[in-house]
Structure 1
């Protein structure tokens, strides 16, 4: 079965050019005019040369010089106008593609981000997109421009001498065969280079984000060796790609120059026979010289297309990745009251390991429900299922007696506040980080929530106060300061349900004291799900769920569980009587 000339990857890339057919048509008309004007130079030049051989016609010198100047100026003007128009169209197309990729990235589930390396995602959204711009879109327009130049020159060559023209294209089949062989090899190597770029990005990202651990364990040499191994592979595959590319261009030149010499010999023969004039041969050779440029560029464009299709393929595969969590048609959009119910819920991150097994519990509106148990018991998973970060497999989860799958994702998540140990702040000002949960919040509202979160005083001590830049991931703030800004952000969104995941662990006593006060204020009137290893933070809970290996083994208050639950009692003794 024959492969289609244009596969689905190229169809996808070309589809972004459809809305710009009219400006692109204008660009190609300008390109044709520019190329045609340029191909007038050989005829003008040869006429000028042969006219000047007669001394009595020396007065034509000024006429020809003016004509040449007009041709050059016209070509230059058209070249400028065409070049700028191309950039306008291509940059508009690339904006749409980047926006489409980023929008799709935001729709994907957490599963996608845990299963794919950060370096792979960055390589796709930055490197592959750039290659599509330079290697495909700009390449296609340049390729068609060169093809247009070749067609114009071929027509002129046929008009000069069709026999000589046919002979001059004898090398074409051989060049096409070389393009096919080398182009396919370049595509394979290009995929390896993409993989190397992703590995380097991941390596660099992990080292930079984990630099404190690297230095704490004095592992700079190990990380350097790791990076050198990746750069060595990247260098090796890049050199393979360069070898194939640079091998082809000189070979192409040798073939073209060989045939140029043959044309001179044949042209001389036709002159002797009287079927060609010397002036026509010179014009023919100048046109062939002009055409040699496009002929040498066209194969390199084709081999680059082979390379860039690997990037297009990756982007398209990414865009075809469907989020597992889907909204129903006409989902519910309503204010939550806060009742949460799990009914025989089962969940697993992969088929070989079940994380939650037949989990059932009810958190009434305004109740504080705590989750305790050893690491890996399923506490965080239960919390992550409430805002539908993951999809449960069996059973049902209800909020206000409505299955959570019937709620709109935005409506649901905008009413669930999450405060965790790993606070994420963006590299912008304090006020913008707090305002992230409610974009139209006033400055008065922001001041109010920072006071509730016990953050106002330390914010006002900064020279920039609320407009102080927090640095990447809040690097300019202490752990306690970041936590209180996160709590202020949650206050601002005014959620009906609150999830506290290890919110007070790993903090100094003073920070923990203020954060406890802020959290107590935050929990008032809200259904709160608390995850903590330290029982001192959850002794006030209305219900405590004790989990082990994905199952709830007991439910009760602190006093009830101390008396009857062996695992809870064990955790209590380990924390208080060590």
Structure 2
């Protein structure tokens, strides 16, 4: 039996490049909303039939909107003249119109929900697969609460918000176009006044949506930090009570809770400001249109039905304009939540694997000038921080087949790190570890890990049957 003391003298360490972050991807804020939505297309491609059905039903529903003022025009101009329109046609037309409208709305909602649930399923599968294959530095950089929150809750919330927002966007945009087309048909001069509303509306929505996106990202970060404090206190509850640190931990929790509340209030202000601003713009346009319409009616033979139909269609524009003004908030928050999951998939590299495999090894292990450094969650420290994060400094040793090795050293000296290097739970920063004369990086990961049995310090039971835990991986 060999006893190998582990020393940690890292004063004469070599300088290593920092490869823990990948900044090659362009920032999300530089992409347009269309580009950001297209990033999710691979996950929703399998539900293309649902998208087509939703589009068709939304178009049908939008086309029924201008038929309401058109029906009023016909009733006012011809319906009150005796014998012009059969009485039975009025309820039939109304019931048929609203029946088609309701059925189209139901099918569009169902088709979009089907598409969203299938896309969310594909996204979660890809995220969980990446979680199982990712480089293990991911779990050093991100807490378990953040990863679980992203995979389980954020993508669910983001998907729901985004689908509802896209349904509103498509429905109200098409309704707006249909009503504007009908208004152009009735009186194109008056309709031109309405068109002056849209440039101002676009400017307001763009400014407020950008602010909402920044606030949403800040809120996500604050939520992660708050969840991590809860996770720490749940896992270390004995230590907190032993040292009487409840008040200190409560203060940490309170500071983060207050910060999250402030961000929520700022988001509410930004989102709530959209509605009154757009309604004022719409009211100004509507007032101008009604005034000009009344002036025109006094100089030309405009029928009562024509005027009522125009005003009704104008008033029907207010609801879709208001909905479109409020749509930036849900789309921004939904995209920001889903992009957290997409970043996990796209920006987390998989752990590399080699080609060599063996049924059973002889057991010769060799460490050659091995350096290991654990990444922190903020890997932008000074050189002193690098010393504190370094776990092994130039370790070299050999273990022959049949020998028993005992690692001796104080807590934090690197004993667990040495053991974790063998199944590549930790990656070497510099140097090399060999098994039977072959570098661990050249081994197939599955074959390599079959060679080891480990009694871990962390005792974890999966939420499954006892038999499933005993036969894990078999």
TM-score (norm 2): 0.84
Determine whether 1:333 maps to 2:357.
yes
Any unmatched runs of 5+ in structure 2? 1-29, 375-382
1:376 CA drift (Å): 3.0
Q: Would you say the 8 A contact 1:189–1:237 is kept in 2?
A: yes
Counterpart Cα distance in 1 of 2:201 and 2:181: 21
Question: Residues 416-565 of structure 1: matches in 2 within 5 Å?
Answer: 416-438=452-474
**Match of residue 136, structure 2, among 97, 110, 123:** 110
1:492 counterpart residue number: none
Q: Secondary structure at the match of 1:227?
A: helix
**Match of residue 130, structure 1, among 145, 156, 160:** 156
Counterpart Cα distance in 2 of 1:255 and 1:324: 51
Q: Secondary structure at the match of 1:418?
A: coil
Q: Secondary structure at the match of 2:248?
A: helix
Distance 1:256 1:8, change over 3 A: closer
Distance 1:68 1:398, change over 3 A: same
Any unmatched runs of 5+ in structure 1? 439-578
Which structure has the greater CA radius of gyration? 1
**Match of residue 207, structure 1, among 225, 228, 233:** 233
Q: Would you say the 8 A contact 2:225–2:256 is kept in 1?
A: yes
1:267 counterpart residue number: 293
**Deviation string, structure 1 residues 98-143 (Cα, Å, up to 9, x no partner):** 1111111122233221222333323322343134313334422331
1:21 counterpart residue number: 48
2:72 counterpart residue number: 45
Q: Secondary structure at the match of 1:356?
A: strand
Distance 1:224 1:182, change over 3 A: same
Distance 1:216 1:9, change over 3 A: same
**Deviation string, structure 1 residues 70-114 (Cα, Å, up to 9, x no partner):** 111122222222211211111000111111111111222332212
Distance 1:251 1:157, change over 3 A: same
Q: Secondary structure at the match of 2:410?
A: coil
1:164 CA drift (Å): 0.7
Distance 1:343 1:230, change over 3 A: closer
TM-score (norm 1): 0.70
1:27 CA drift (Å): 1.6
1:224 counterpart residue number: 250
Distance 1:49 1:196, change over 3 A: same
**Match of residue 349, structure 1, among 361, 373, 376:** 373
Counterpart Cα distance in 2 of 1:197 and 1:135: 18
Deviates more, 1:368-377 or 1:348-357: 348-357
**Deviation string, structure 1 residues 418-441 (Cα, Å, up to 9, x no partner):** 102321112333222212242xxx
Deviates more, 1:399-408 or 1:134-143: 134-143
1:367 counterpart residue number: 403
Q: How many residues align?
A: 433
**Deviation string, structure 1 residues 170-205 (Cα, Å, up to 9, x no partner):** 222211111122122212211221112111211221
Q: Secondary structure at the match of 1:314?
A: helix
Counterpart Cα distance in 2 of 1:389 and 1:383: 9
1:413 counterpart residue number: 449
1:319 CA drift (Å): 2.3
Counterpart Cα distance in 1 of 2:283 and 2:108: 31
Determine whether 1:92 maps to 2:104.
no
Q: Secondary structure at the match of 1:289?
A: helix
Counterpart Cα distance in 1 of 2:313 and 2:138: 56
Counterpart Cα distance in 2 of 1:309 and 1:93: 14
1:242 counterpart residue number: 268
Counterpart Cα distance in 2 of 1:79 and 1:109: 46
